Amino acid sequence: MTAQRAFRFGVNMAIPTSRGKWVEKCRRAEELGFDVIGVADHLGMPAPFPALILAAEATERVRLNTFVLNTPFYNPVLLAREVATADQFTDGRVELGLGAGYVKAEFEAADIPFLAGGRRVDHLEHTITTLKRLFVDPDHQPRTVQRPGPPLLVAGWGDKLLTVAAEHADIVAFTGASTGVDGALQIAGPEAMADRVAFARRALGARAADTEFNLLVQRVLPHDELPALLAELGPVLPAAVAEQPEKLPILLIGSPADIADRVRDLRTRYGFTYITVLESSMEAFAPAIPLLR
């Protein structure tokens, strides 16, 4: 059963900095007990694959995840080369996270057409099937260390994307927010999250018990910092929970014991066993990790 799966904890690194500071941050994440270091894929942030390879050199045990690649930016055959090389150079520590992309301004800056959401998901699925085909091809070089390829995480929210994730992914990641046509995010409340998880479970069918569910947590904070956060997030909060922010799945609020209790509740309620926090919340979340082992 998914509810019995052990927890895993990831931190998503996003802040560009020097080589030394990057190494320091990655070592700190491993020291704090995180299982996975992820690298986001946005313009203005470190390039994912070089960052992950440097993270591997700086650490010993953590897995390394693209969280998540803006898949329409990549040619699938060339991406297969990048992934296989990274898997070789990290001794098989790569987890491949893929998404359909949502920030229109980044597409425009890269001079890449920002296609309709359905077409971006089509490209994501084409990419997945190409990668899987190449990774099992005995003539494809370079070869991945992990066979038949690195574990695949697919992140999203809409029906079509979650259907693709259910068909192909080892890990289904829930963003906790819907995306408008302009790329703007609207944070989801508990009922919307339950609906998305239920949809994914139906699409997974018999695969549900063997598929890991990931949640991206946007902020971990003590109670006294909550008013400032609510003022910041106000326009994108669902009205039904604006007065009860502790019910939002993407927020973890309170002491380490409070946070650990809430993470256990998220596992019971939704099946989330793989929790990823943003770099800005790494230190705040860390004290809850030993309470959840």
pLDDT in tens, 28-41: 999 999 999 999 99
The CATH number corresponding to 2-292 among 3.30.2310.20, 1.10.510.10, 3.40.50.720, 3.20.20.30 equals 3.20.20.30
Range among 2-16, 94-108, 180-194 with highest mean pLDDT value:
94-108
Mean pLDDT of 238-258: 87
Give the integer Cα–Cα distance in Å for 203 and 206.
9
Give the integer Cα–Cα distance in Å for 97 and 14.
15
Q: Does the CA dihedral 130-132-138-143 come out positive or negative?
A: positive
Question: CB count, 10 Å around CB of 204?
Answer: 20
**pLDDT for res 229:** 86
Domain ranges of the chain: 2-292
Lowest mean pLDDT among 33-42, 173-182, 202-211, 224-233: 173-182
Mean pLDDT of 54-72: 98
And the tokens for 59?
Answer: 């650490």
Mean pLDDT of 153-158: 96
* C-alpha 84: how far from chain center: 20
pLDDT of 220-233, one tens digit each? 999 999 888 888 87
Of the pLDDT bands very low, low, confident and very high (cuts 50, 70, 90), residue 183 is low
- 276 has pLDDT over 70: yes
Whether omega before 77 lies within 30 degrees of 0, making that bond cis, reads: no
CA distances from 153 to 42, 124, 169, 247 (A): 17, 12, 6, 26
And the tokens for 121?
Answer: 């998901």
Mean pLDDT score of the chain: 93
Residue type at position 168:
H
